[in-house]
Structure 1
Amino acid sequence: MLSLSRHLGATFTLLVAACSSGGEAPPVAAGDERIDCALGGAEKLGRVCSVERSEKDGKLTLIVHHPDGAFRRFDVMTDGTGLSVTDGAEQAQTKLVDGKLDVTVGADRYLFPVTMKADAAH
């Protein structure tokens, strides 16, 4: 009788854990600054990637963290052309969409906020 109640208790615990995890939001990368991204060919963007900024010798690099722990580095171009992939063989395809920089690298897509330079309109 005692072993049966232990078995039922363990089963109940597993069911509660399964139910509580089913309605949670998708995982989100650690960090305070978030951007929308669609990873691995996903069509729907979600605010689940985080951005870390690193500056060395006057060169700004953005490290985008994915929820699964993967990351991608981008160099911020000083000529106003946007971002380039810091490491890796794939090139970034960039376009300005609704005031954001839409960047696609392989099967991953990111939307970065844009700050326009004062002389960019000339």
Structure 2
Amino acid sequence: MSTRISEVLAAAALLSLAACGSKVETDAERAQRAKAELARAEAEGRIPCAIGAAEFTTNCTIDRARTQDGLILTIHQPDGGFHRLRVTTDGRGVVAADGARQAAVSVIDKDAIEVAIDDARYRLPARIKGND
């Protein structure tokens, strides 16, 4: 029994020492880390997305193509699904490029929009008028 107690005490001491060396991340540091992760994902052609009730991850990829109708974004979901969006120049941001469903666009930051279509939500970089 004394061996078990000493093992528990030794483990507790190791955990205490490990905790002393860990640093608590501040809100500013967390925001900076999230911004850096997002920039890295965008450089790799990935964007934040959420399907259904899931949390946002950077598991969706985006392809851009210039067509006679303008810039078309094709967003590929991890499950194989995709949506095509047409970038507008009239202040709406994007609209569904095909299909029967409308894209609902909302401004979420000074340089980002969130697009909801069907059960998918995408976060896209955007140039918001008045923020130039």
Relative to the length of structure 2, the TM-score reads: 0.61
124, 128, 132: which one pairs with 1:112? 124
Counterpart of 1:47 in structure 2 is 58
Aligned residues: 88
* Cα distance in 2, alignment partners of residues 96 and 43 from structure 1: 20
- Runs of 4 or more, structure 1, over 4 Å off, are none
Q: Which structure has the higher relative contact order (CA within 8 Å, separation 6+)?
A: 1
- 3-state SS in 2 of match to 1:112: strand
Match of 2:92, SS? Answer: coil
Q: Which blocks of at least 5 consecutive residues in structure 1 are unaligned?
A: 1-30
Pairwise CA distance, 1:70: 1.7
| Mapping of residues 1-122 of structure 1, within 5 Å | 32-39=44-51, 41-57=52-68, 59-99=70-110, 100-116=112-128, 120-121=129-130
Quick one: which amino acid aligns to residue 110 of structure 1?
A: Y
The one-character-per-residue Cα deviations of 1:32-77 (angstroms, maximum 9, x if unpaired) are 31110001x1241010001100001261000001112221100000
Q: Quick one: percent identity of the two aligned structures?
A: 35
Question: Looking at CA atoms only, which structure, 1 or 2, has the larger radius of gyration?
Answer: 2
Structure with more helix by fraction: 2
For structure 2, list consecutive stretches of 5 or more residues without a partner in the other structure: 1-42
> TM (normalized to structure 1)?
0.65
